[in-house]
Chains A and B, each alone.
Chain A
């Protein structure tokens, strides 16, 4: 029997079977009530960078699994007083948590955390490197909408250079047999990124072949470093408008959205947009990840089968 997976640090650590198991497990959590699977277990969320949906959904996912959960943000914690990440983790580890979910502005932070603790570590975003649970929830949302992943063509549009979402998603889509094209202004497409196994284009016509147009957030300060001349030009050339979409194309966005910049409000509010489905998927996918790491795949499957269906109002 293979060793249970200790951590979720990077999509690069997963195989196709892992991804499929997690998605299946997430699907089984959908529409189920609280599970007692992680009763008596504890999940610490250590967030050294701002977050709305990721933190909220990890907290909720842990609670739905009956785990105790504590969330620490850098602001208001000892990190404010200059405590190193290492000491924060050593301190928290003294409480014997089962899982530490970590978000940090630096590449590789989650991997370092994993080297300092006996807890399972989930990477909730490390700098511009990876955000693996976001990629898994995106796969979940795509599969829910299209009933397949194999052969799906996804165009990821926008600021790839600064996006950990893009880096995880390209890897994840590659694992499940989907095809990826990165599209954006040349200054925001890092040289060498095609090594991840994707096509790269600076021509917006490249989105025409896509089943899914995945829109990345453009941080408003990108003009300051002259990556793009203005939000106006960015929206005009790279913004996703109804006119740029073909019938049947789906639109995704990891949030938070800049309406009127990378995505037209009409698109964001249209039926083609899966944005809310993505948020919802985040909860069950994070439940699946926590359960898989702590209880293990087999026990998770058994427990889910016994759980009660949720009462939908």
Chain B
């Protein structure tokens, strides 16, 4: 697999603060000296208000390139990632054209070498055109540097196709990242099935549309003994299924988004198109199950599912608006504000699930704070208070569920692959 970004200088700098690296068992005030992009020395330092943490890894980003460069480019998307504290991101292949051939993938990798400020990996489609009919040339794609296989944006509706994909791609060793949605149950759905959709008259999208697919996909992963990654898990029933599968030894990982951890379908009462996403926001019991699974590590990854949309596409009635919200630049602050500060999640857990968790799920280099490691570091000011505004984004799109909201905690500096990319 290839992580590509602009070649360039390696920076030298000194970072000082409370180093919190849960995977390494570190939580102390330290001075970290970076020389030519590599951590050269770590020494005790006086107490500091800043937190220095292994930088974040986002396994689920839509960069809209090629095809919708008006919504995001590799440059703008990776600048947004840098501002969010990320040192690596994985881009989704549901572009126009779909990333389903080695030539498209190679084009993106070379573009990333010119434009991407944060190392970027590219997932490729499971099926040609993501149409769900024929397999992509998975071996060639793996050889060309694919990060993983996914038809994200839509499910693999055919169980047989998914089974063949799992078997055929086995020798590549790459995981399949699965968007779990049973289309016959979600069809016409715009909001979680429950009191809110019933009252508003929005087409219901039941939890079962996700959980029956999670069950199916885990069963096939068990059958083929292949690694699967379940994307943007939203329902308590899905968590229960993952619990059972992990207990049975199925090689699965799972991710959850900040918006599913913070919001419930109650937010949909606003009919704001910026709270419309797929899967939809669900009930409080689902949110609790997700937080619990995140704490226990059953869900080991936080993924933004950063999905930029043009302003005019969201300035329409809720049902006509496309699914998806941005998240790269607000992920840490939104979760720090809404989960850590109220005492629902430990800071250490949040940092681990945003960094090492996703890196391990996809076999990416783990950001570590140790002498000799390439510097991948996020510096966080936990006291900073800021308002999310449409003109404050590096992303080309501003379809954030947090517009106009106050957040606490901010990424003040990001070092990715030895280079200062933010701050």
Contacts and interface: CB of A to CB of B under 8 A. Distances in A.
Contact of B317 (A107, A163, A192): A107
A112 B319 CA distance: 12
B319 A107 contact: yes
Interface string A177-209: 000000000000011111110000000000000
Interface string A89-120: 00000000000000011111101100000000
A163 B202 CA distance: 11
B196 A129 contact: no
A195 B319 contact: no
Nearest to B321: A106
A217 interface: no
B323 interface: no
A193 B198 contact: yes
Contacts, number: 72
Interface in A100-147: 104-109, 111-112, 126-130
A190 B198 contact: yes
A198 B195 CA distance: 12
A70 interface: no
A128 B193 contact: no
A107 B200 contact: yes
A127 B202 CA distance: 8
B318 A106 contact: yes
A14 interface: no
Contacts of B315: 84, 86
Using C-beta atoms within 8 Å of the partner chain, give the interface range for chain A: 20 to 34
A242 B398 CA distance: 58
A107 B199 contact: no
A106 B317 contact: yes
Contact of A195 (B199, B271, B312): B199
A107 B199 CA distance: 11
Contact of A109 (B193, B196, B317): B317
Contact of B271 (A85, A104, A111): A111
Contact of B198 (A109, A126, A127, A195): A195
Q: Considering residues B190, B195, B201, B203, which has the most beta carbons from chain A within 10 angstroms of its beta carbon? A: B201
A63 interface: no
Contacts of B195: 192-195
B129 interface: no
Interface string B158-201: 00000000000000000000000000000000100111111111
Contact of B201 (A104, A167, A191, A195): A167
Contact of A85 (B193, B203, B316): B316
Q: Considering residues A108, A128, A191, A192, which has the most beta carbons from chain B within 10 angstroms of its beta carbon? A: A108
Nearest to A171: B199
A191 B204 contact: yes
Contact of A192 (B194, B203, B319, B320): B194
A196 B195 CA distance: 8
B193 A129 contact: no
B214 to A, nearest CB: 20
B197 A190 contact: yes
Nearest to B283: A192
Nearest to A115: B315
A164 interface: yes
B201 A164 contact: yes
Contacts of B312: 84
Contacts of A109: 317
A129 B201 contact: yes
Nearest to A193: B198
For the complex of A and B, 8 pairs with smallest distance between CB atoms: A128-B201, A106-B317, A192-B195, A108-B271, A195-B195, A190-B198, A192-B198, A193-B198
